[in-house]
Amino acid sequence: MAPLNPYFLGGSSSEQRLVQDLINEQLKMYGQDVVYMPRQLINEKTIIKEVLVSKFDDSFRIEAYISNFNGFGGQGDILSKFGVKTSDELTLIISKERYEDFITPFLLDDPDIKVATRPQEGDLIYLPIDNGLFEIKYVEGKVPFYQLNNLYVYELRCEIFRYEDELIDTSIDEVDRSVQDFGYIQTITMVKDTATTATATVSIASTQNNSVQYIDLINDGTGYLSTPTIQITKAPEGGIDATAVAIMTSKTGRTGNSIDRILIVNPGIGYTQIPSVTIVGQSGSGAIATAVLASRTLGIVTITSGGSQYSSAPVVSISTAPAGGVNATAEAVLTVTGIVTAIRYTNAGAGYTVSPTITLTSPIGISTGDFEFNESVRGVSTGTTGYVKDWDADTRVLKVSIVGGNFANGELIVGAAATHKVYSINTFDEYDPYAENIQIEDEADDILDFSQKNPFGNY
């Protein structure tokens, strides 16, 4: 059938090409440069196809024409007793050819994107002029309807994006920062004091008399439900009694615990013969140990500074003994708050003629470096993970989202180039954009002051 208009073929490839070029030109002239972000499905239920985890880490600039002529659609800003809720809607038109030529080729090999040949519901559009993120709710691909027997544009019907713990990391700062305070956010305050190194001094126990150099564990015993007491025979009159403690361990196939080693707290002074070592426990049995004497051993270590922010016991180094002597070795005792409280000998040494130097390693890797926006961080003790939303190096306040687990007070949180120790954790979501939690709390503090006493009682 011949076309009604003799000057047009009514759908030839050349005419379709001309129309597509004109549309592309118009979108570049009258449209806006937006950032298109395809949704990648990381975890999805296989039965009802519910998306559990998704991320947006790809971004593509493309021209889009705003079809709205009288501002945003939707119900606009809704004021309720829970805060202000925004329900803006937006209709955008993009070129079908531009999408297929400049976006589709980069998505075809991505296994987390199911359909790469056209825009998908759930993908995001960042609108720079409004600094807003919009989620595509419906893609209309047949408007206008087959002009010259072809389709040239996609009509994207979008709504303001409701954040649900998606990971947005496009490497475009203005895009990533637009959702900085969206979603469920935990606020973690890190230890603010700088870490300090512990110091100690030690002198020779005695230059004339024997002391306990070390305790040889002959049998480690079994079945101990609590740490047994180490009893050492008293020193002769005028001497100083030696003291020691047991360090316990559990072993496969045994009931209860066994003794791993015995550490000397005080080597004592004035022993003329080898003292007996008795291991006394309310449970367990079989442990046997004997003491070894030596002259010119080291005495009790004096802690001059316990240091701070140790996550594990520091290594103790003692300067070497003179030729013919035995080098002393020791272990540090650490509190749960990261302070060295004592140093115990595994071997008090022998043959020292002058007081040696004792040094402890520094608390390396604590309260160092800065966290980066959107990087993944991990709690060393609990294994909890999260993504950084904000880090203030001055106040040591870290905001994290998409938290997998529960961080713990006192544990270290590590990132790519930062390690900091947790002081306190606030799991209340203070940064919900649809509520005013901080303002309500501030107003309440002005009415009732809990800092001095309980206004409702005497305690």
State how far the Cα of 409 lies from the Cα of 382, in Å rounded to an integer: 10
Backbone angles phi, psi at 349, to 5 degrees: 80, 180
What pLDDT shows up at residue 363? 79
State how far the Cα of 116 lies from the Cα of 119, in Å rounded to an integer: 7
Q: Classify each residue of 428-437 as buried b or exposed e, where b means 16 or more C-beta atoms within 10 Å of its C-beta.
A: eebbbeebee
For every one of its 459 residues, what pLDDT tens digit does the chain have, with 9 covering 90 and above? 566 667 667 778 888 999 999 999 999 999 999 999 998 876 555 555 555 567 888 899 999 999 988 888 777 666 665 555 667 899 999 999 999 999 999 888 887 777 788 999 989 999 998 888 899 999 999 999 988 889 999 999 999 887 776 778 787 878 877 766 566 688 998 877 667 899 999 999 988 889 999 999 999 999 999 999 999 999 999 999 999 999 999 887 778 899 999 999 999 999 999 999 999 998 889 999 999 999 999 999 999 999 987 878 999 999 999 999 999 999 999 987 789 999 999 999 999 999 999 999 987 656 788 998 888 899 998 999 988 888 998 888 999 988 888 998 878 899 998 888 888 888 776 655 555 556 666 777 677 665 555 555 555
Do residues 18 and 57 make contact, with C-beta atoms less than 8 angstroms apart? no
DSSP bridge pairs for 305: 199
Contacts of 90 (CB under 8 A, 6+ apart): 66, 68, 72, 73, 125, 127, 134, 158, 159
- DSSP-derived letter for residue 173 is H
Q: Which pTM value belongs to this model?
A: 0.51
What pLDDT shows up at residue 48? 52
What pLDDT shows up at residue 364? 64
Task: Please state the domain extents for the chain.
Answer: 13-179, 199-360, 367-447
Which residue has tokens 């009258």? 30
What pLDDT shows up at residue 193? 63
DSSP bridge pairs for 53: 43
**DSSP three-state, residue 439:** helix
State how far the Cα of 325 lies from the Cα of 251, in Å rounded to an integer: 35
What pLDDT shows up at residue 282? 86
φ/ψ bin of 371: left (φ > 0), alpha (ψ from -120 to 50), beta (otherwise): beta
